[in-house]
Amino acid sequence: MNMHPRGTFITFEGLDGCGKSTQMGKLADALRAEAYDVITTREPGGTPIGDRIREVLLHSANEMDAMTELALMFASRAQQLAEVINPGLREGRIVLCDRFTDSSEAYQGAGRQLGSGTVLAMHKIICGGQQPDLTILMDSDPAHSVERARRRNLQSRSATADENRFEQESRAFFERVHRQYLAIARRDRDRVIVVNARRPIATVHREIVAMVRERLAGRIKARAKATKTPVAGGA
C-alpha cells in the first residue's frame, strides 16, 4: 500500500562509519541539481524534541536499559514523522532520512537482542507500519566501519557533544547488527537495495544515483498510470 502517494521517502542504513551520511548528502545535491525538491533529516533527531532525545541516547555516560533505548528511538521517530517526514511527503517532496526503523531492528532487535518481533510491533503501533519507498543499505565490514566511526568521534569530540555510546559496543554486537541488516534486505527485497560501501566514494555515489533515478522514473510512471495521464515516451 502506498501511504504517501505524492512524495518519495528514501532512507539510508548501515553500520556506524559506513559512509552513509556522506552518500546521503551527495545524493541530495545530485537530486537538487535535477530540480527535485529534497529535504534531508536523520534519526535519532531531526526535530528540536528529537535532538534532545538524541543527546540522551548517544551520550556515553548514560547507562540505559535496552527497552528504554528502543522506546526513545521510537519517541524521536514519532515526532520526526509528524513534524518532518509526513508533511514533506504531503508536499510532494523527496525526503531523505539517515536511518529509520531498520536501524531499530538491527541495533535494538539484534544488537541488544530484543528481537525483531518487539521492534516491528512498536513500528506498527507508533508509525502505523509506514515504511520508506526505498532503503539504501550501505554494506560494509563491521570491524572497519566501527573503527572509522570511533576515530571520527574522537577527532570531532567537542566540549558539548559526546555521541559515542554505540561506538563503544563490542565486535559481537556489530556483527549481529550487520547480519540483521542483511536479513532485512533479503526479506524486503522490493524496498531495500544493498550497495557495496567498500568502494571509492565516487563509485558508490554513481551507483546510488542510478538506482534512485530508476526508482523515481518507475514511481512517476506508476502515478501517471493511476491517474490515467499519458506518459511521454510510452510504457
Sites of contact with ligand TYD (CB under 6 A): 16-17, 20-21, 42-44, 58, 73, 99, 103-104, 107-108, 149, 163, 166
* Cβ proximity to ligand TYD, 44 vs 88, nearer residue: 44
Which of 81, 102, 71, 92 minimizes the C-alpha distance to 220?
92
Least distance to ligand TYD from the beta carbon of 143, Å?
15
* Cβ proximity to ligand TYD, 139 vs 163, nearer residue: 163
Q: How far apart are CA 120 and CA 166, in angstroms?
A: 21
Distance from CA of residue 32 to its chain's centroid? 19
Cell 570511533: give the residue: 150
* Cβ proximity to ligand TYD, 124 vs 225, nearer residue: 124
* Cβ proximity to ligand TYD, 16 vs 133, nearer residue: 16
CA pseudo-torsion sign 189, 43, 104, 19: positive
Least distance to ligand TYD from the beta carbon of 30, Å?
20
* SS3 letters across 197-209: CCCCHHHHHHHHH
Least distance to ligand TYD from the beta carbon of 169, Å?
8
Q: Say how many C-beta atoms besides its own lie within 10 A of residue 112's C-beta.
A: 20
Least distance to ligand TYD from the beta carbon of 197, Å?
12
